[in-house]
Structure formats: structure tokens, C-alpha cells
Amino acid sequence: MIRQLLQLIGMGCLTAGAVLFFTSGTEDEEYVNQGKVIAELNQELATVKVALADAQKDTKANDEAAVSTQKSDDSGKKDSVIKMILTLSPGDTSKDASDFLEKSGIIKSATEFEGYLTKNGLSGKMQIGQHEVDSSMNFADLAKELTTIKH
């Protein structure tokens, strides 16, 4: 009788050990699966970041092309006004905007415009979005346009 009781207890311990062994393995698999999902999401995030950077470059290139087309259309007119839409993207600085405005012919000196923005405490207040600008605008008008939130 005691022998049978000890055998039963032994079998119970073996069964419990086997159950614990096999169930603890599934937790490890869950961590591995979660790691795989996180790796896939990080890879997808990196792909989206690259696509966003490419889209931002394309937008700036299109803006530059639109400006050069407009300049050639107005080449026969003296003191013609250059109009364009400047797109500011996340991460663009006032220096980026100033340089682009100078290259586009909207302003004569990016350095002077950047100085104006700094002097008036506006250099860190550029707003992302599309801004309608033209070469007839003075520094105050340009600054007001570029620091206004676009919806």
C-alpha cells in the first residue's frame, strides 16, 4: 500500500514537471514572436521614413521647377513679380527657407532675410505647410506669411 502511494506521488511529480516544462516553453516562443513583430515594425518604420524623405525632396524639386518655369514665362517683362508656393516641411529651418527664397529670386539676400528674422525673434517660428510668396513682398510680409500656421 505504501509502495503504491509512493508510486502515485512519483507519477504526480513527473506529470507536474512535464506540464511545467512544456508550458514554460510557450512563454519563450511568445517573446520570440514579439521580437519578430517589433523587428518587422522597425523595418516598416525605416521604409516609411525613407519614403517620406524622398517625398519631401520631390516636393522641393517640384517647387523649384515651378519657380524656374514662371521665371522663363516672365522673362520678357521688366521688373516682373515672381510668385510661388513655398512648402516648408518638418525639420526645415528659417535658413532653409531663406536660402530657397534667394535661389528662387523672391529675395536678393538670404543672409539679410535671416538677419531680419533673428532680429525680430522669428527665426525659430517657421510653420510647416504651403506658403504663397512673391517677389513684391517685403521682409515683414514674408516673415508674417512663413510664421503663420497653415491648416
pLDDT at 140: 94
Q: For 147, which DSSP code? A: T
The pTM of this model reads: 0.49
In this structure, are residues 86 and 130 in contact, taking their beta carbons and an 8 Å threshold?
yes
**Domains defined along the chain, listed by start:** 78-146 (3.30.1490.480)
Could you tell me the mean pLDDT of each successive run of 10 residues in the chain, 151 residues long? 80 80 62 70 75 71 56 55 89 90 92 94 90 93 90 65
Is residue 19 exposed (0-12), middle (13-18) or buried (19+ Cβ within 10 Å)? exposed
d(CA 92, CA 117): 15
pLDDT at 59: 66
pLDDT at 56: 72
pLDDT at 65: 55
Q: What are phi and psi of 81, to 5 degrees?
A: -90, 130
pLDDT at 36: 73
Q: Strands (DSSP E) along 65-137, which ranges?
A: 83-88, 129-134
Q: What are phi and psi of 133, to 5 degrees?
A: -130, 160
